[in-house]
Every structure is written in structure tokens, then in C-alpha cells.
Chain A
Amino acid sequence: MTPKFSLKNLHKTFGTHSVLRGINLEIFPGESLVIIGGSGTGKSVLFKCLLGLMQADSGVLEMDGKNILKENAQENEDRLKDIGVVFQGSALFDSLTVWENVAFRLLYAERRGRQESKKIALQKLAAVGLKKNVADLYPSEISGGMARRVALARAIASQPQVLFFDEPTSGLDPIFSSTINQLIKKSVKELGVTALTITHDMTSARVIGDRIAVLYEGKIIWCGPAKDINKSDNPYVQQFIQGRPD
């Protein structure tokens, strides 16, 4: 099977600080891969490289067999049409209402009408468990948990082929975290998309992921089915999943 994403010997350095030190990873269509790792291990940099928000220094980074390190701005923009992203802090646009946030791509990139876009936005809000009356509120008027749901609704609004999640449960209480995990799992299954999640939350990783990859000091040190992670004999993996201090 051709991988949806293929990363070979990917490097990224800032000044003298090497963040990604030869990442090798494949993500297959329809699977949900979770990349876990501690703070400062390079998760966010890898996430940005995959989205084209940051340029890797060397290596190969392919999506559907096409090297995205060589794409220009227009090609990146076109590629991103197939990708939905949920950012760590939700990244909702403060000046727009909730429904306008959800329908942003439909309104501004696809140039669909406001009525049609609002109808789709309301459907997506319902899909993530939000009521109609939230649609006309502004992001500052809703809670963090609701904002995360809105961000998920925005990510799935234009029927993407790939979903990216950056720390989807960070800053949420355990109940909300669990709800968001279930919503992500449900959305990925129903849409049949490929999903990539970056997190340091082991509970999230086990619920969302079909496979888990562990990032440590800029390298993938373990990758396998989510259910097998406990069997790993790598000391860092064991330390991470048990949450032991140094």
C-alpha cells in the first residue's frame, strides 16, 4: 500500500540546535497515527513541517508520493485543501462568529454562499455535539472545551482526506478530554480519513491511535500498534508511558 505520508531521514536545525535528526516514518491511508513525546522533543516542529508551515532542511517528505519539500506556495495551498487541522489552542478567529469560523474555508477559499456555508456549519456543529444557539456567538463567549469542538467542526467542514491534531486535549479537564478523544475517534472513523495526532497525553494516544510513534531527541525511537506500546523494552518509552521522573 502506498503511504499517505512518507518521511525519510528528515532533518531540521535551528542555528546550532538540531531538532529533527533523521525522522523515518510512514502513515498509511485510513489509519490514525499518534506521535507522542515529551516537551522539546520536536513534535511541533515535525507537525509544522508536515503542514508546510515550516521547511525541513533535508530528507524526503512525501504526501501521496509527491515530495512536498519542493512544492511552491500555490502547491502547498492546493495540498492543504485536503487537510483539516485542529490547533493546540483551537486558533479560532476572534473577529468571526462560531459558524463563520466553522465555514471559513467554504466562505473564503471555496467562495460558497453564506446561506449554504452556514447550513453546512450548523450540521458540523451538531456533529461535534454543539447546539444551534452557539453558532452566532464569538469565540470569546464560549468555553475552552467548546472552542476545541468548534475547531474540530472547522477541520471537518470541507470533508478533508487528512486530519491533523496538535495536542487536542491540552488544557482540558479529564471529562472534556475524554469527550474530545471520542469525538476525534468518531470523526476519523466516519469520514474514513487519515489522522495524525501530536500529543503527550497517553490516554489520548491509546484512545485515538491505531499506531503510536514515540519521538525522542528528534528521532522516532519506537513505532507500533497502540496496544503493543506497553510491551516496548525501550527505557524512554517505558518512562514516558509510566510518567516516571528522571
Chain B
Amino acid sequence: MTWIFENLGRVFLAFVATTGRLFLFLLQALNQGLRPPYYGRQILRQIWEIGYLSLPVVGLTALFTGMVLALQSYTGFSRFNAENAIANVVVLSMTRELGPVLAGLMVAGRIGAAMAAEIGTMRVTEQIDALTTLSTNPQKYLIMPRLFAGITMLPFLVVVADIIGIFGGYCVSVYRLGFNASLYLEQTLNFVEIQDVTSGLIKAAVFGFIISLMGCYHGFTSKGGAQGVGKATTHAVVSASILILVANYILTSLLFEQGVS
């Protein structure tokens, strides 16, 4: 019987230790990274990687989600003659929830894994040690550009996802379900409020921070060759995905309490 408590204790202690190490890592990154010099090329490279190269995957996800949302809403709402609410459901769902969460999860899979793999490989091949010996702080050179790009590019991706998702819903509603195009657009524009969009953007910035932090942390602390890099990549994606879902609930609650939601 005691083995259950022993194992639970071990898991809890490991969780506390990892959390502590993560906070120390973040503090060090902020302490070093917020002070000059800043590496503009690295920042631009990360903006390109996260912002531009994630557009196809985020766009496609949003497009099909918007289309499915319209179809599913029609199926449900037609049972009590509420088909007219489809535009409202699509725009509200995309801007508040599906845009940020799906973009976050897709970017976590694409970028979180790439960050952990790249930094992890640099760790196990001594490239991070080489950076230090070349008088370049790895926190400034590797971590801060990624954190900055993650926080700033996720909101941009979410704006794109919102627009494409709403467009997907529009296409299905107008061309498949026979809605009037101008009425659908008018209803969408009339119903959406600025708070719906801003709450999604706040979430996106937080998700971008989580994805970058998890990718960088697991990559930076990886060890043990190729197997270690593989584990770091898996941990980065899994932890970022779970934290995005947890943060989504917390943020929704906070924004709801403040009357923003």
C-alpha cells in the first residue's frame, strides 16, 4: 500500500522540481534577454519561422474548422428554426475560442517541436557551449528572440485564423446551405464586438509565450544525444498543448469575470 504514496510523492516532488527549474530558467532568460545587446537577425528569423511559415497550417485548420462549424450549427439549429444564428455562432466561436486555441495547438505542434529539436541538438552537439565561449549569452541569442516572436506572432496568426475561419463558415453557409451572402456578412459584422477579438488576441499572446517557453526550456535542458532530443521534443509539444488548454480556461474565467468576455 505504501508504494502508492511513495510513487505519488515521487511524482509530486518531480513536478515541483521541474516547475522550480522552469521558473529559474524563465527568470534567467528575462534577466539576460531584456538587457542589450539584442540580436535583430535572430528576432527576424524567428518572426519569419513562427509568423510566416505557420500561416499555411493555421490557415487550413481555421478554414476547415469554420466550414465544419457552419455545417454542424446548421444541423443543430435547424431543429428549432434558428438557422439565422449560424453567422453569430461562427464569428463568436472563431474569435473567442477556436481561433486562438486551434492556432495555439497547431503552432505548438509545429514550432514548439522545432524549437525543442533545434535547441536540443545545439545542446547535445556543444553548440550552446560554443556560443558561451564566443562571448555570446545563449539566453540572449537563443531564448529571447523566440519568446519575443512567439508572443508577438501568435496574435497575428490568430487574426488570420479568425478571418479565414469566418470565411470558411461564410462559404459553406452561402454556397452550400443557400444563405443570402450580404445578409450573412451583415449579421457577422453587426454581431461581433471588439472585445470578442481582443480577448482572443490576449489568449493568443499568452499561448505564444507558453509555446516558446516550453520549446526553449525542454530543448535547452535536453541531454543524452538523439534520444534526449526526441524526449525534449515530445515534452515540449505535450506540455505546451496541455498548458494552452489550462491557460485557456483560466483566461476565459478571468476575462469573463472582468466582463470582457
Taking CB atoms and an 8 Å cut-off, the chain A residues in 148-175 that contact chain B are 154, 164
Residues of A within 8 A of B134 (CB): 80, 104-105, 108-109, 154
Knowing A108-B39, A111-B37 touch, does A77 contact B137 (C-beta < 8 A)? yes
> Contact partner of B135 among A89, A92, A109, CB < 8 A?
A109
Asked if B136 and A88 sit within 8 Å, CB to CB, the answer is no
Residue B132 CB within 8 A of the other chain: yes
Residues of A within 8 A of B122 (CB): 93
**Interface residue stretch chosen among B56-64, B123-131, B213-221, B227-235:** B123-131
Taking CB atoms and an 8 Å cut-off, the chain A residues in 100-116 that contact chain B are 104-105, 108-109, 111
Residue A33 CB within 8 A of the other chain: no
Residue B133 CB within 8 A of the other chain: yes
Asked if A91 and B136 sit within 8 Å, CB to CB, the answer is no
Residues of B within 8 A of A80 (CB): 132-135
**Chain A 35-55 near chain B by CB (<8 Å), digits 1 or 0:** 000000000000010011100
Asked if A77 and B129 sit within 8 Å, CB to CB, the answer is no
Residues of A within 8 A of B32 (CB): 73
Residue B167 CB within 8 A of the other chain: no
**Chain A 68-101 near chain B by CB (<8 Å), digits 1 or 0:** 0000010001101101110111011111000000
Residues of A within 8 A of B127 (CB): 91-94
> Contact partner of A85 among B39, B133, B141, CB < 8 A?
B133
Give the shortest distance, in Å, between A155 (CB) and chain B (any CB). Answer: 9
Give the shortest distance, in Å, between B76 (CB) and chain A (any CB). Answer: 49
Interface of A is mostly: mixed
Residues of A within 8 A of B130 (CB): 85, 87, 91, 93
Taking CB atoms and an 8 Å cut-off, the chain B residues in 104-122 that contact chain A are 121-122
Knowing A104-B136, A105-B134, A109-B136 touch, does A89 contact B126 (C-beta < 8 A)? yes
Asked if A53 and B132 sit within 8 Å, CB to CB, the answer is yes
> Contact partner of B126 among A52, A88, A111, A164, CB < 8 A?
A88
The answer for the CA separation of A78 and B130 in the assembled complex, in Å, is: 15
The answer for the CA separation of A60 and B16 in the assembled complex, in Å, is: 35
Asked if B126 and A105 sit within 8 Å, CB to CB, the answer is no
Asked if B37 and A91 sit within 8 Å, CB to CB, the answer is no
The listed residue with most B CB atoms (<10 A of its CB), out of A84, A87, A154, is A87
Give the shortest distance, in Å, between A72 (CB) and chain B (any CB). Answer: 12
The answer for the CA separation of A95 and B122 in the assembled complex, in Å, is: 11
Asked if A108 and B136 sit within 8 Å, CB to CB, the answer is yes
Residues of B within 8 A of A92 (CB): 127
**Chain B residue with minimal CB distance to A53?**
B129
The answer for the CA separation of A93 and B129 in the assembled complex, in Å, is: 11
Knowing A88-B126, A111-B37 touch, does A51 contact B133 (C-beta < 8 A)? yes
> Contact partner of A87 among B39, B45, B126, CB < 8 A?
B126
**Chain A residue with minimal CB distance to B39?**
A108
The listed residue with most A CB atoms (<10 A of its CB), out of B32, B37, B129, B141, is B129
Residues of B within 8 A of A85 (CB): 130, 133
The answer for the CA separation of A93 and B127 in the assembled complex, in Å, is: 6
Asked if A87 and B129 sit within 8 Å, CB to CB, the answer is yes
**Chain B residue with minimal CB distance to A78?**
B135
> Contact partner of A105 among B39, B121, B135, CB < 8 A?
B135
**Chain B residue with minimal CB distance to A166?**
B126
The answer for the CA separation of A118 and B230 in the assembled complex, in Å, is: 36
Give the shortest distance, in Å, between A242 (CB) and chain B (any CB). Answer: 31
The answer for the CA separation of A154 and B37 in the assembled complex, in Å, is: 21
The answer for the CA separation of A234 and B136 in the assembled complex, in Å, is: 42
Q: A73-B137, A94-B121 are in contact. List 9 more A-B contacts (CB 8 A).
A: A51-B132, A53-B129, A53-B132, A80-B132, A84-B133, A87-B130, A91-B127, A104-B134, A105-B136
14 contacts between A and B (CB under 8 A): A51-B132, A51-B133, A52-B132, A77-B135, A77-B137, A83-B133, A89-B126, A91-B129, A91-B130, A93-B127, A93-B130, A108-B136, A109-B135, A154-B134
Q: Which 4 A-B pairs have the closest CB atoms?
A: A109-B135, A91-B130, A91-B126, A85-B133
